[in-house]
A and B are shown apart, each in its own frame.
Chain A
Amino acid sequence: MTSATANAVPIASRSRTGVHAFVRRHPTVVIGGALLLLIGIASIVAPWLATTDPISIDPSHRLRSPSSEHWFGTDGFGRDLYSRVIYGGRVSLIVGLSVATLATVIGLAIGLVSGYLRAVDALVMRVMDGMMAIPAIMLAIALIALSKASVVIVIVAVTLPEVPRVVRLVRSIVLTIREQPYIEAATAIGTSVPRIILRHLLPNALPPLIVQATYICASAVLIEAALSFLGAGTPPEIPSWGNIMAEARPYFQLKPAMVLLPGLFLAVTVLAINLVGDGLRDMLDPRLARRM
């Protein structure tokens, strides 16, 4: 009996220390990931979590304080603030994920070509330098100002200024690796360029790229919120944290929570993404981790 438990304990605790060790070594990834998972699930099951339709207006119940019926109170149109905030996460996450994916894929393609073909490199890099000189939010504003507001336009407008950052990263990696002897060897035995890119350059570029994609995701969530807050982002009929805050602004002195609650959700989401990014960076590049 005693020996049986004594035998059982090490196995159980060993599997537990595996998880434990990971949590202890990378607490930021675990905390950030857990928060993000929570927000992600809440956004997906928003129709079940929300207490009412986030866009149904009820002027007779406008500007109510938090109650058991309206957990966060109601806004200037009598819409339930809690339901709107829960739905608002959808836009943020969709924009964040789409921009991170699009910017990374486009930037990767341009960066690989630019790093490998000297002929186009100079031109491409000058264009990227020029794009980076335009502040991201201004570039997005300019694009959106000329289009009908929609989530797709926001995604395109936020992706564009992020692309040069990825291009620079990928290009710098390619430039370092292409001088390595094993690339020379691969070329010498007649490996084709696409194959070198796929087999040798891509695996090397992937870890820093994943970290960069996480930061782009955080930045995209912030920019979408800022644009919506300024009235140049997600159209008003779709609740997003930025436009919920914008609509609550006139009532701020009366009911600060109307502005601060969606702001809190936004801040926690971006914080979670950044924590995951920092943790991934430490995991994938321990040398850099000590320095940063």
Chain B
Amino acid sequence: MHVYLIRRLLAAVPVIVVVTVFVFALLHLAPGDPAAIIAGDLASAEDVAKIRANLGLDRPLLIQFFTWVGQLLHGDLGNSIFSAHPVTQLIGQRLEPTVTLTLMTLFISVLLAVPLGVIAAWRAGSWIDRGVMGFAVFGFSVPGFVIGYVLIWLFAIELDWLPVQGYTPLAKGFWPWLSNIILPSVTLALAYMALIARITRASMLETLSQDYIRTAHAKGLSTPSVLMGHALRNASVPIVTVIGIGVALLIGGVVVTESVFAIPGLGRLTVDAILRRDYPVIQGIILVFSGAYVVVNLVVDMLYTVLDPRIRY
């Protein structure tokens, strides 16, 4: 068990190294002088030189890389070109709305999609099954920002039940917080739910055809007990895997959803950084998002041994 944990942790190291090298290289992959591009068309030669010095672009490539990595290891992501604030501070300020939105989405998705997938597999071929599968294709196809606007139009403008946009921290009360976060969470959840419902159904179909399920039925266990206790437990590994992989989808969706609902989170920070070509901020956010993805999938891998004790590494 411990050996497995250590092996799995070590396996994450090359991934993190590749991500780091990649994020560093991005600045140098682009055609032309990155300093000039970041400065924009209207910048003077002086500004360009300042940015070049700020980013350390005037030094040899390897030295630049190791200086940058050295700073990273000290938790320093550099300073924003636009506001000169440390990138870690900027990210820290924007973390709460994004984390809230992501957790809420995760909660809604798992709570609804897993039962949907279970029922679809249990009643395979029925109209419920067709409905769930149809919903899955729909969820994959309709872009988050289109769904977001449809929901705003319906629930905020036509029905006037919920606020159109914005974010209220949980500290300011439960209902103000919930009323703001519910539409973006549902928007973001749709594609994720499609993914989870589909894999739940597929994995459950596989499990339900096993002999021990027939045995469980035969010894008189109730259907819910067979479905949840026996089948879902054994079908859980692929489901949890997809929930982990789907976090990448979620992160991409966060950027767009926050933009639609004017939520001041990391997604907004990203969009502002693109418009200002604030490269250290973009690099910092990519590192944070990728890091989150790696950690989530690490946790998922650890969960395997809990969910399925047969897995021994």
Assess the A135–B141 pair: CB atoms within 8 A.
no
Instruction: Assess whether A136 is interfacial by the CB under 8 Å rule.
Output: yes
In the complex, are the beta carbons of A134 and B143 less than 8 A apart? Answer: no
A218 vs B259: C-alpha distance when bound (angstroms): 22
B275 contacts across to A, CB distance below 8 A: 231
Partner-binding segment picked from B88-96, B168-176, B289-297 = B289-297
Docked-complex contact B18 and A129, CB < 8 angstroms: yes
Binding site for A on B (CB under 8 A): 14-19, 21-23, 26-27, 29-31, 34, 37-38, 137-138, 140-146, 149-150, 152-153, 157, 164, 198, 202, 205-206, 248-249, 251-252, 255-256, 259, 270-271, 273-275, 277, 279, 282-283, 285-286, 289-290, 293-294
Most buried by A among B16, B142, B252: B252
Q: Is the interface of B mostly helix, strand, loop or mixed?
A: helix
B149/A259 in contact, CB under 8 A: yes
B252 x A264 contact (CB < 8 A): no
A253 at the interface (CB under 8 A from B): yes
- Establish whether residues B141 and A270, one from each chain, have CB atoms under 8 Å apart when the complex forms: yes
The answer to whether A133 and B137 touch across the interface, beta carbons within 8 angstroms, is no
Could you tell me if B252 and A136 are in contact, using CB atoms closer than 8 angstroms?
yes
State in angstroms the CA–CA spacing of A150 and B289 once bound together.
Answer: 26
Q: Contact at B164–A230, with CB atoms within 8 Å?
A: no
Given the known interface contacts A133-B294, A229-B259, the answer about A263 and B286 at a Cβ–Cβ threshold of 8 Å is: no
Which applies to chain A's interface (DSSP): helix, strand, loop or mixed?
Answer: helix
Instruction: Give me 28 A-to-B residue pairs in the complex whose CB atoms sit less than 8 angstroms apart, sorted by A's number.
Output: A126-B14, A130-B14, A133-B19, A135-B248, A136-B248, A137-B256, A138-B285, A139-B286, A141-B282, A142-B283, A146-B37, A146-B277, A230-B274, A231-B271, A232-B271, A232-B274, A245-B149, A252-B152, A253-B157, A263-B149, A266-B143, A266-B146, A267-B141, A270-B140, A274-B140, A274-B141, A275-B137, A292-B198
In contact, A132 and B248 (Cβ under 8 angstroms): yes
Q: How far is the CA of A133 from the CA of B289 in the complex (A)?
A: 9
Q: Other than A142-B286, A266-B146, give 6 A-B pairs with Cβ distance below 8 A.
A: A130-B14, A130-B18, A133-B290, A226-B143, A229-B145, A260-B153
Interface on A for B, CB 8 Å cutoff?
126-127, 129-139, 141-147, 218, 222-223, 225-226, 229-232, 245, 252-253, 256, 259-260, 263-264, 266-267, 270-271, 273-275, 278, 290-292
Nearest B residue to A248 via CB reads: B149
> Which residue of chain B lies nearest to A144 when distances are taken between CB atoms in the complex?
B274
User: If the complex has contacts A133-B19, A267-B142, are A138 and B30 also in contact, measured as CB distance less than 8 A?
Assistant: no
A218 engages B271 (CB within 8 Å): no
Shortest C-beta distance, A222 to chain B (Å), equals 5
Q: Which of A126, A218, A225, A275 is within 8 Å of B18, CB to CB?
A: A126
| Cα distance A229–B256 in the bound complex, in angstroms | 8
Nearest 5 A/B pairs, CB to CB? A130-B18, A263-B146, A146-B30, A137-B252, A271-B141
Residues of chain A contacted by B274 (CB below 8 angstroms): 141, 144-145, 230-232
Q: How far is the CA of A263 from the CA of B145 in the complex (A)?
A: 8
Contacts of A138 in B (CB 8 A): 251-252, 255, 270, 285-286, 289-290
* B259 & A130 in contact (Cβ 8 Å cutoff): no
What are the residues of chain B within 8 A of A139 when measuring CB–CB?
Answer: 286
- Inter-chain contact B14/A230, CB cutoff 8 Å: no
State how many angstroms separate the Cβ of B290 from the closest Cβ of chain A.
Answer: 5
Contact flag A267-B293 (CB < 8 Å), given A135-B251, A252-B152: no
> Is A225 a contact of B279 with CB atoms below 8 Å?
no
Q: Which residue of B lies closest to A139 (CB)?
A: B286
Please tell me which one of the listed residues A142, A264, A292 contacts residue B202 in the complex, with CB atoms under 8 A apart: A292
CB distance from A259 to the nearest CB of B (A): 5
In Å, the complex CA distance between A253 and B157 comes to 7
B283's closest neighbor in chain A, by CB? A142
| Given known A-B contacts A126-B15, A256-B157, A271-B138, A143 and B26 have beta carbons under 8 A apart | yes
Chain B positions within 8 Å of A222 at CB level: 143
